[in-house]
Structure 1
Amino acid sequence: MDKNSKIYIAGHNGLVGSMILAELQKQGYNNIIYKTHDQLDLIDQKSVDEFFKTQLPEYVFFSAAFVGGFIKQKKYPAEFLYNNIMMQNNVIWAAAKYGVKKLIYLASACVYPKDAPLPLRESYMLEGAFQPNNESYAISKVAGIKLCEYLNLEKGKNFLCVAPTSIYGENDNFDIEDSHVQAGIFRKIYLAKMRNENNINALCKDLNLNQKEALEFCDKHGIFDNHIKMIGTGAAAREFANSRDLAGFCIYLAQNIDFKDLCEYDEKGNLISSFVNFTDGEPVSIKELSFLIAKLMDYKGELIFEKELSHNDGTLRKTMSRKKFNKLGYQNKISLKNGLKKMIEMYGVWSR
């Protein structure tokens, strides 16, 4: 991939896609194409085919997805399955049809079975049932990995797949009801800080509500004058990685790694995995994460967690194997503390 290569980013406005775009531009790539949803509906097969036929990108980063938190996934499983499969199938198939040299496909850690042993190794995919709450999204992501694998094996393509851990960053979705866990926790604390400091104008501006509506919203979500009612006990632990690091890794793959480098075989020579995990460091409990964010924001109130484990905690521990990742020669650069600082700083800038 050279500086003049034509590069298409699907999902350039998203958490990871926006960082891929920024990092490519930083590295001097000057022939990048991207489209908003209004300009190119990835669910429309005809439009996607025409786009690839006329634009003929050489490299593709697929970070587009129909996403949402626990509540949204539970409410709209059909939409999660249909929209994601249609988008990725249209793009991946067109990329193969029109001679894309390399495609990087972003999957998810949810591709693993709910009862898989830890740390999660790539070969564990499809060895058991998925978590019920995100089964439809998991099915779509497994389908994307397998389509890339089959095209590589059948047609000699070079499409690479990455399964990232929990990703956070400054371009995240901070909707309390429809966000990643870390973004939701941050937003709660941000609003609580405004209320704790009696900065009602800032609270109303952030929520785009009048004072009565803003306070009712806070009450509904457990955000009070001097404390926050957190969801769950905080005992669940996750690995978190920064979106800028993931973007850097995706570009590194496009520059240096081929499909064969991601393939893992058993003792009989059977292919048992063809993608790679992306993670960073040791797992951090939700309680530790919450207190870290509160400290970084200088929040003076109290965080009150539930006392007994329940479905609100989800899987208590989730770690991913770094064995294959470590062999590829890429190193993450952003610590959790520094990444959260940047996220908090940028949210403050955008919300003014």
Structure 2
Amino acid sequence: MEKQSKIYVAGHRGLAGSAIVRMLESLGYENIVKRASSELDLRKQSDVETFFEEEKLEYVFLAAAKVGGIMANATYPGQFLYENMMIQSNVIEASRQYGVKKLLFLGSTCIYPKLAPQPLKEEYLLTGELEPTNEPYALAKIAGIKMCNAYNKEYGTNFISVMPTNLYGPNDNFDLETSHVLPALMRKIHEAKVNERPTVTVWGSGNPLREFLHVNDLAAACVFLMERYEAEHIGEFVNIGTGEEISIRGLAELLCDVIGFEGNLVFDASKPDGTPRKVTDVTRLKELGWQANEPLNVGIVQTYQWYVENVVKQ
């Protein structure tokens, strides 16, 4: 990519997309195209094709998606499957049709089988059954990976796919019904502290192990790969993560320390745990020359400060 290249970041207001925009701007990229969902509905094929035809885009970061935690996935499985399939299919096809030089598709490590060996290697894709609580989202993302790969083979496109682990950071979703575990716990613990409640209830046993990646690290990895590597060098897709894990109980305790909540944590084992363990193998990414830099405890402090200043004070 050149500094003047016309770059479209789909989903620029979301957690991942906004971080990619910040990273591109910090590196001196000046021609970044953004469209809010109110201006461009990526679920509508004709609208997407008109947009690509008019803008003559060179590079695309496909970070737009319908996302959420266990509750959201369980409540809206049809929406998660339909909307993600439509968004990614329309953008990928329009990128092919209108000559985009390179596209980066963002998926998720939920694509892996529920009981896949750990840590998760790229070759474990489609080797077992998916975790039922996020199967629709995972199926959509798997289809996106396969679509990029199929287009590369059939049309000679240069579309690459990355699978980030659990993300957190500025512009995260803190809605208790639709958010992921880290921002949901951050909000619950903060509100318990402010309202002087004695306990905070955490879904599940607290035993599942999870990996968390600061969204600034994700953005750095995505731009790094777009600048330096072609699809043929990356393979079908590459994991983006830290390779480090923490239990949900440990995460909740860390959040209590950062927020200053001195009450008790209550774990509701009647609620689903999801996948027992999920940590990525980041060997391929390290071999390409990149690794994460933000320690979890430091990233949580920064994210909590952003939450207080931008969400609580609104």
TM-score strictly above 0.5: yes
Say whether residues 1:318 and 2:290 are aligned partners: no
Residue 130 of structure 1 and its aligned partner are, at CA, apart by 1.1
Structure 1: distance between partners of 2:185 and 2:129: 29
Q: 1:303 aligns with which of 233, 242, 265?
A: 265
Q: 2:214 aligns with which of 222, 242, 246?
A: 242
| Amino acid aligned to 1:19 | A
Q: Which residue of structure 1 lines up, in the alignment, with residue 78 of structure 2?
A: 78
Q: Which residue of structure 2 lines up, in the alignment, with residue 220 of structure 1?
A: none
Q: Which residue of structure 2 lines up, in the alignment, with residue 290 of structure 1?
A: 252
| Amino acid aligned to 1:326 | K
Say whether residues 1:28 and 2:28 are aligned partners: yes
Q: How is 1:205-220 mapped onto 2 (pairs within 5 angstroms)?
A: none
Q: Which residue of structure 2 lines up, in the alignment, with residue 88 of structure 1?
A: 88
Residue 311 of structure 1 and its aligned partner are, at CA, apart by 5.2
Residue 115 of structure 1 and its aligned partner are, at CA, apart by 1.9
Structure 1: distance between partners of 2:99 and 2:309: 42
Query: What do residues 31-86 of structure 1 show as CA deviations (whole Å, max 9, x unaligned)?
Result: 00010011000011001001001101100000000112212211221111111111
Structure 1 consecutive aligned stretches of length 4 or more whose deviation exceeds 6 Å: none
Residue 14 of structure 1 and its aligned partner are, at CA, apart by 0.3
TM-score (norm 1): 0.86
Q: Secondary structure at the match of 2:9?
A: strand
Structure 2: distance between partners of 1:179 and 1:76: 13
Structure 1: distance between partners of 2:75 and 2:176: 16
Q: Which residue of structure 1 lines up, in the alignment, with residue 119 of structure 2?
A: 119
Structure 1: distance between partners of 2:137 and 2:296: 26
Residue 310 of structure 1 and its aligned partner are, at CA, apart by 5.2
Kept in 1: contact 2:42–2:86 (CA 8 A): yes
Query: What do residues 214-253 of structure 1 show as CA deviations (whole Å, max 9, x unaligned)?
Result: xxxxxxxxxxx21112222211110110111001111111
Q: Secondary structure at the match of 1:175?
A: coil
Structure 1: distance between partners of 2:270 and 2:160: 37
Bigger radius of gyration, 1 or 2?
A: 1
How many residue pairs get aligned? The number is: 312
Q: Secondary structure at the match of 1:230?
A: strand
Q: Which residue of structure 2 lines up, in the alignment, with residue 13 of structure 1?
A: 13
Structure 1: distance between partners of 2:57 and 2:301: 36
Structure 2: distance between partners of 1:110 and 1:7: 27
| Amino acid aligned to 2:238 | V
Residue 337 of structure 1 and its aligned partner are, at CA, apart by 0.9
Of the structure 1 ranges 7-16 and 291-300, higher mean CA displacement relative to structure 2 is found in 291-300
Taking every aligned residue pair, what percent have the same amino acid on both sides? Answer: 44
Structure 2: distance between partners of 1:159 and 1:304: 45
Structure 2: distance between partners of 1:124 and 1:230: 30
Q: Secondary structure at the match of 2:173?
A: coil
Q: How is 1:250-261 mapped onto 2 (pairs within 5 angstroms)?
A: 250-261=222-233
Structure 2: distance between partners of 1:97 and 1:314: 39
Kept in 1: contact 2:243–2:280 (CA 8 A): no
Residue 349 of structure 1 and its aligned partner are, at CA, apart by 0.8
Q: Secondary structure at the match of 2:126?
A: coil
Q: CA RMSD in A?
A: 1.1
Q: Which residue of structure 2 lines up, in the alignment, with residue 134 of structure 1?
A: 134
Q: Which residue of structure 2 lines up, in the alignment, with residue 192 of structure 1?
A: 192
Structure 2: distance between partners of 1:113 and 1:151: 25
Q: Which residue of structure 2 lines up, in the alignment, with residue 105 of structure 1?
A: 105
Q: What 5-or-longer segments of structure 1 have no aligned partner?
A: 197-224, 264-273
Structure 2: distance between partners of 1:323 and 1:177: 35
Q: Which residue of structure 2 lines up, in the alignment, with residue 269 of structure 1?
A: none
Kept in 1: contact 2:8–2:57 (CA 8 A): yes
